[in-house]
Copies of this chain bind each other. A is one copy, B any other.
Amino acid sequence: MKPKGFVRRTKQREAILQVLRGTKSHPTADWVYQEVRKEMPHVSLGTIYRNLRTLSEHGEIQELAYGSHHSRFDANSESHYHFICDSCGSVEDLDMPILHELEAKVEKLGNYEVFNHRLEFHGNCADCSEKESVQSDQH
């Protein structure tokens, strides 16, 4: 029996992977689209998006989410770290010291001027990890 959610090897998907592997520039979906289009003029942007999603869900590539499609706002403007629950989406402040020394370390890695950094932890919050353990009890 074939596994459900089997992933086919299509020329569009191969082309996308090849474009991505051929650059160090962490491109946007649209840039990938333009590149793939050079070899495959009829490829559609929808296909690019669908494949980028599939590939990152399968751990073959990594998505770096930027921008602000659903920003959240924090009245505490002091620098601090956050915990994000991947299950329910809640965001909590973390009471831990800022690792200023990391910025100096990064500046030594290259010719960077580092102004600040963002550190956030992902996982399950107290509520959600409790719910999951209850669910597995019910088996």
Chain A residues at the B interface, C-beta cutoff of 8 Å: 17, 20-21, 23-29, 32, 52, 56, 59-77, 82-84, 86, 90-96, 102-103, 105-106, 109-126, 129-130
Q: Is the CB of B64 within 8 A of A67?
A: no
A71 nearest CB across to chain B (Å): 5
Q: Which residues of B contact A20 (CB under 8 A)?
A: 73-75
A95 CB, nearest partner CB in chain B, Å: 6
Contacts of A74 in B (CB 8 A): 20, 26, 61-64
Q: Measured between C-beta atoms, what is the minimum distance from A120 to chain B in Å?
A: 5
How far is it, in angstroms, between the C-alpha of A119 and the C-alpha of B25 when the chains are bound? 18
List 26 A-B pairs, Cβ < 8 Å.
A20-B73, A21-B75, A24-B92, A26-B82, A26-B90, A26-B91, A27-B72, A29-B71, A32-B73, A52-B71, A61-B74, A63-B72, A66-B68, A67-B67, A67-B68, A68-B69, A83-B106, A83-B114, A92-B110, A111-B129, A112-B124, A115-B122, A117-B119, A117-B120, A117-B121, A117-B122
